[in-house]
Amino acid sequence: MLKHKAMEFSILSFPLYFLLFTTLFLQRKLSRALSKEIGELAEFPPRGWNSYDSFSWIISEEEFLQNANMVSQKLLPYGYQYVVVDYLWYRRKVEGANENSLGFDVIDEWGRMIPDPGRWPSSQGGKGFTEVANKVHAMGLKFGIHVMRGISTQAFDANSPILDIFKGGAYIESGKKWTARDIGLKEKTCPWMSQGFMSVDTTLGAGRAFLRSLYRQYADWGVDFVKNDCVFGDNFELHEIDVVSKVLQELDRPILYSLSPGVSATPNMANHVGNLVNMYRITGDDWDSWADVKSHFNVSRDFAAANLIGAKGLRGRSWPDLDMLPLGWLTDPGSNQGPHRKCNLSFDEQRTQMTLWSMAKSPLMFGGDMRKLDGATYNIITNPILLEINSYSTDNMEFSYISGTEDLGSSNHVLTRQSQNLKEVKAEASHVPSLTSCRHAEAKGWTFNLDDHKASQICWREKYMGRKYKAPFCLHTRKPPLTWYEEYFYKQKYQGKLQLLANETNDSCLNASPNGKLTSQETKRMSFSHCKSNGEQIWELNQNGTLMNSYSGLCATVKGERFSFTHKLKVRNLTYIEELIGYFAAEANGDGIRSWIATGRRGEVYLSFFNLNPVTMVISANISDLAKALPSRPITYSCKYTEVWTGKDYGVATDTISIVVDNHGCALFVLQCN
């Protein structure tokens, strides 16, 4: 009887399925034609302005349009064309509301976020961002918004119906009217906004219908750029990214697709999404601290070496994204306060950041308040040679053929200039749990260990640490406690999986992704927090010795610092002590000085030197070594060269290029070698 009814339903619904198939076919055909008409999307690394660094989540319509107007006047001539409203534009700015509060969002009858009318008055009457987008377009700019993963907890709690955009009513499948609670995955909330959003089940037609209804609405508003957050890196949601990308290809207008954040992002991960998107974050949040800037050198090197710069993307190309430029007039992370302070980076550090972002061909999204844009910041972000490199250079890569010596005679030498108190600096090795791709050899090294048959442990084997330790790094195991609801629905997912505790007497479990949104210097760190049955605390030990996290799909590894020294230094305070520890470690690993190389569209060679040390360095490169990095380029043994930031013409170099670079500073040369 049931089988007969199922056949009857299938036959009766055949015209509907045929209509759906035909519609999708025509949409994709139109999409391909549109792509040819508009050219490549993100042909060059995108440029623009984003509200997050200066306004956090509290920006208003008036403030946004004021900034957009200044972008149009001052930055549009330099290719900065996108203006993006960052997160929580749908959250009411009232007492008790913050970045992880629940119950303050404005949603429509279909559980979709709509602008808070208190901050965005033009959105009233169901207009959404239509009027704002129209005004932005009239300025010659493109309009973007930030969105979170999946569906909101507020829509889930309200059990909102799902919109079927093809029928214009509730989504019905197999005779069932589907709602938010049918598609929301409550065990997969966004770790750093746990009360805000959760993933949707994209294996369900209703889950895909919900995402389609979101992005179709954004297109109707006139959106040109979508920054999709909590879907990459530790929070990797490949299925959602794939569904969204397909929806964007169906639309009759191009929308640039950006992923964020990128904590623990790897080139292998990027290979899965590069052709689905146009830009993707490869770091945590970048703020105005030297530690953040410095942390970008290794990751940018790795993605360049994997040939991912400017690879195939959605309707065009895709670009690894080093995050926004937090320069100028800013606010603080997670703040309920607007722009109120200057950038903490020194002038040298700001130039270093802009130079690396340009040489690595990262998207350039300025974050400072445009209404208080100072001349020095303006000159940095509009430097014509840096922008030329960012758009048109090729062969961009780290250049390893450099040498450096400490400039003992410099007045900027930190050990003499900052001398006040004699301190003994001691650095020792330590265990640092972190995340990596499960395919990497460094992920293999975990094994079960029984502690007098009282408690089981998972330990990192000493031989993988690179040196001997008196005690191995071990974590105590326990089965995750499940509620009856979780036991019923998710038992198979948790079968054979564990929680890992710092010790057996407390309730502190290892998290794959901390509750806070990580900054870039914390990219690889993990943390311990109160145990709960969330996916980021669930682990599985595989037979090959990898320890995989159920939430991110990444594996845990343990790193130990491989240097130990005691040194007496005259330094001003603990900040310098910590930095000098890093300096000695960097020297041991060859990380104290760095260099990038690229070629220009007119045959010129760009060569940059970076001094990551707290002391002034003399950095040098041999002309003969340029050809090793650029074997396809005819480079002679003499080059005319100038330095960009000083404007100095050095004439002709026949052997070596050498320059004194201040601590945290850089030099950028343009070489004519033919």
50-106 pLDDT, tens digit per residue, is 999 999 999 999 999 999 999 999 999 999 999 999 999 999 999 999 999 999 999
Q: Phi and psi dihedrals of 38, rounded to 5?
A: -95, -5
In the chain, what are the domain boundaries?
46-392, 402-409+590-673, 431-560
pLDDT for position 365: 98
The yes or no reply on domain 402-409+590-673 and CATH 2.60.40.1180 is yes
Work out the widest C-alpha separation in the chain, in whole angstroms: 93
Mean pLDDT in residue range 376-401 = 97
Whole-prediction pTM = 0.78
261-300 pLDDT, tens digit per residue, is 988 899 999 999 999 999 999 999 999 999 999 999 999 9
Which residue has 């999204």 as its token pair? 365
| Average pLDDT of the residues of the chain | 84
Reported for 289-292, long-range contacts at CB under 8 A and 24+ positions apart, including other chains, are: 289/344, 289/345, 289/519, 289/521, 290/345, 290/349, 290/664, 291/519, 291/520, 291/521, 292/519, 292/520, 292/521
Task: Specify the CATH number for 46-392; select among 3.20.20.70, 3.40.710.10, 3.90.226.10, 3.20.20.10.
Answer: 3.20.20.70
**CA–CA separation, 177 vs 162, rounded Å?**
8
Can you say how many angstroms the Cα of residue 549 is from the centroid of all Cα atoms in its chain?
A: 20
202-234 pLDDT, tens digit per residue, is 999 999 999 999 999 999 999 999 999 999 999
> What b/e string do you get for 642-654 counting C-beta neighbours within 10 Å, with b at 16 or more?
bbbbeeeebeebe
The DSSP 8-state label assigned to residue 121 in this structure reads G
pLDDT for position 407: 76
Task: Specify the CATH number for 431-560; select among 3.40.50.300, 1.10.3720.10, 3.65.10.10, 2.80.10.50.
Answer: 2.80.10.50
Higher pLDDT, 376 or 522: 376
**CA–CA separation, 441 vs 317, rounded Å?**
31
Higher pLDDT, 51 or 553: 51
> SS3 for 243?
helix
